[in-house]
């Protein structure tokens, strides 16, 4: 089991941030965690990564139950995280290759000498993810889409059992976003790909490889299950408390105000 949350709640500064969360992710599954700003997505991710422990309930990640097993850094080495927070902490003068190699040590910056095996793995990942051509360029000189590919490669250096992509398409224009999503699609289809949690509040980013979706609202699970059963006009109209229509195109959902449905067709 990758993630098993059983009635978990999180209270911070006297306020419940998460309430009565039940969520089970099995190995090999790829999930979308969808929620508006302030829904509690970041708090839930921090709990999965063992930065927070639940105030109530039982939390198990990668078969380690919180409170009964040593967690922290040892668990996080098995989780590949791609987030804007990580990007802000990187040494932007380092090359893309050095940034990726640092993932082998789970460090910010490269302080140890990589082995030949590590170097070969980094080069292999760069070729797989389409970032080999700018291996020697400073990270600061890369486009936002190129940076995200580098971070995904970095996250895979330790052969994680779980990869969390926390709003990776934020700030990308249409073309860059679609190119990044194509890379993620290819990654998810690899036989050796770990479980992926894709976090977003943009419906159009949800790819067909993400067969399950959890909707988070106000710190609670609003709905969860098969993506095609969750991302419906009726379910999302109730979720938003606003009339919306879900239009599927190329196995991806598009969201519109209900009155605009016929126009978009």
Q: For residue range 242-259, what is the model confidence (pLDDT) as tens digits?
A: 999 999 999 999 999 987
- Radius of gyration for the alpha carbons in the chain, expressed in angstroms and rounded: 19
Nearest one of 191, 212, 185, 156 to 24, comparing CA atoms: 212
Helix axes 116-129, 174-189, angle to 10 degrees: 120
Q: The sheet that has 15-25: what strands, in order across it?
A: 15-25, 3-12, 56-61, 64-65
Angstrom distance (rounded) from CA 113 to CA 97: 13
pLDDT digits (tens, 9 = 90+) for 176-219: 999 999 999 999 998 889 999 999 999 999 999 999 999 999 99
Residue of higher predicted confidence among 158 and 86: 158
67: pLDDT strictly greater than 90: no
78: pLDDT strictly greater than 70: yes
The answer to whether residues 48 and 23 touch, using CB atoms and an 8 Å cutoff, is: no
Buried b (16+ CB within 10 A) or exposed e, 93-117: ebbbbbbbbbbbbeeeebeeebeee
| CATH number for the domain running over 1-78+162-231 | 3.40.50.300
Q: Where in the chain is the domain with CATH 3.40.50.300?
A: 1-78+162-231
Q: Which two structure tokens, joined as six digits, stand for 66?
A: 């919180």
Q: Write down the pLDDT at residue 260.
A: 53
């Amino acid at each position: 089991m990758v993630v098993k949350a059983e009635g978990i709640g999180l209270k911070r500064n006297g306020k419940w941030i998460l309430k009565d969360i039940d969520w089970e992710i099995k190995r090999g599954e790829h999930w979308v965690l969808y929620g508006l700003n302030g829904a509690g997505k970041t708090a839930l991710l921090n709990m999965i990564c063992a930065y927070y422990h639940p105030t109530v309930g039982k939390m198990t990640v990668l078969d380690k139950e919180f409170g009964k097993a040593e967690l922290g850094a040892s668990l996080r080495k098995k989780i590949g995280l791609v987030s804007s927070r990580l990007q802000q902490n990187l040494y932007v003068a380092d090359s893309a290759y050095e940034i990726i190699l640092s993932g082998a040590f789970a460090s910010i910056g490269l302080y140890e000498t990589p082995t030949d095996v590590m170097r070969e793995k980094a080069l292999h990942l760069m070729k797989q993810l389409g970032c080999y051509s700018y291996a020697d360029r400073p990270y600061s000189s890369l486009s936002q889409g190129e940076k995200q590919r580098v971070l995904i490669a970095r996250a895979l250096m330790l052969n994680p059992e779980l990869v969390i992509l926390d709003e990776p398409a934020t700030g990308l224009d249409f073309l860059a976003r679609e190119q990044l999503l194509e890379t993620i699609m290819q990654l998810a289809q690899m036989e050796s790909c770990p479980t992926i949690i894709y976090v977003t509040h943009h419906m159009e980013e949800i790819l067909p490889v993400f067969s399950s979706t959890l909707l988070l609202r106000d710190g609670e699970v609003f709905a969860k299950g098969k993506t095609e059963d969750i991302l419906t006009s009726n379910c999302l109209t109730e979720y938003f408390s606003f009339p919306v229509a879900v239009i599927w195109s190329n196995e991806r959902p598009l969201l519109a105000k209900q009155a605009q449905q016929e126009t978009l067709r």
